Amino acid sequence: MIMKGKKGLIVGIANNKSIAYGIAKAAHKEGAELAFTYLNEQLEKRVRPIAKEFGSDKVYKLDVNSDEELEALTKSLEKDFGKIDFIVHSVAFAPRSALDGRFIDTDRKSFDIAMQTSVYSLIALCHACESVLNDNGSVLTLTYLGGPKYIPHYNVMGVAKAALESSVRYLAVDLGSRGIRVNAISAGPIKTLAASGIGDFRAILKWNEINSPLNKNVTIDEVGNSGMYLLSDLSSGVTGEVHYVDAGYNIMGMGAIDQDENGKTIMKWDKFR
């Protein structure tokens, strides 16, 4: 098994529909030993059964915006594992009000919350866990096309994802001297708890399905397999990258075209409107 003997931390898993769940599943299947975090009591009730499913009783409370809890996490990891080999960062949040209307109307507080929770949390997590992360380890975070490109209703989260992707590159340099790799997966739209806050999400799913080269939306298992690759030694020469797992949608410069029954060129989207 590719990840036999590897130990890792999964931060931000919400339920068995989460992208982080897909990554944990793939890593566990290949032999990795996992630990998990939860934000509060409500999420703890979801996370503990998932940890048990993957044969783990290592579950820690963590608010990524709390330096005290980050410090406590490091101590717990050192006590339970000594060292770990990888970290999965699956944390993002912005107030719902900041995902509606015009981006220009984003208030300062919402902007700060989005950046602290969705971006600085990766930096803070890497800093806190640097001492317990083995040389030649791997850090993986999750981003979305709304960072480098405009996506309707993504607003301040798009700006946060752009900052997250930039942080990946800078962290890759900081940690590269120890052989630690830092990468991001940019997954296509998937029906997750986080995605439920995005307006017109059903239309976004359909648009991606119609216009991606593979004519489909990806699954958490497909993203999970790519995540496992980036966490494993198979990707030992890869760092600072944003790896797209979106059925190829990111390569498209315009909507896909097709022909109607009369042989006339039309946009494929028109068939579904």
- Residue 23 DSSP SS3: helix
How high is the pLDDT of residue 55? 97
At 20, is the secondary structure helix, strand, or coil? helix
Residues 14, 93 contacting (CB under 8 angstroms) = no
Q: Which of 240, 220, 218 lies closest to 230 in space, CA to CA?
A: 240
Question: In Å, how far are 145, 149, 169, 228 from 8, measured between CA atoms?
Answer: 26, 32, 21, 11
Which one-letter amino acid corresponds to residue 145?
L
Q: How far apart, in whole angstroms, are the C-alpha atoms of residue 225 and residue 189?
A: 16
Separation of first and last alpha carbons in the chain: 46
pLDDT, position 270: 64
pLDDT on residue 28: 98
Catalytic positions: 144, 154
Q: Quick check: 272 and 210 in contact, CB under 8 A? A: yes
Q: Which helix (H) or strand (E) holds 10?
A: strand 7-11
Asked if residues 223 and 190 have their Cβ atoms less than 8 Å apart, the reply is yes
Which pLDDT score, from 0 to 100, does residue 194 have?
66
pLDDT for 201? 74
The domain covering 7-272 belongs, at the CATH homologous superfamily level, to NAD(P)-binding Rossmann-like Domain (3.40.50.720)
Q: Rounded to whole angstroms, how far apart are CA atoms 129 and 178?
A: 14
Q: What is the pLDDT of residue 100?
A: 86
Query: What does the pLDDT profile of the chain (273 residues) look like in tens digits?
Result: 999 999 999 999 999 999 999 999 999 999 999 999 999 999 999 999 999 999 999 999 999 999 999 999 999 999 999 999 999 999 999 999 999 899 999 999 999 999 999 999 999 999 999 999 999 999 999 999 999 999 988 999 999 999 999 999 999 999 999 999 999 999 999 877 666 566 677 888 888 999 999 999 999 999 999 999 999 999 999 999 999 999 999 999 887 766 666 766 666 666 555
All structural domains of the chain with their residue ranges: 7-272
Q: Burial letters for 15-41: b for 16+ Cβ neighbours within 10 Å, e otherwise?
A: eeebbbbbbbbbbbebebbbbbbbbee
Unique residue bearing structure tokens 């607003």 = 155
SS (H, E, C) 161-197: HHHHHHHHHHHHHHHHCCCCEEEEEEECCCCCCHHHH
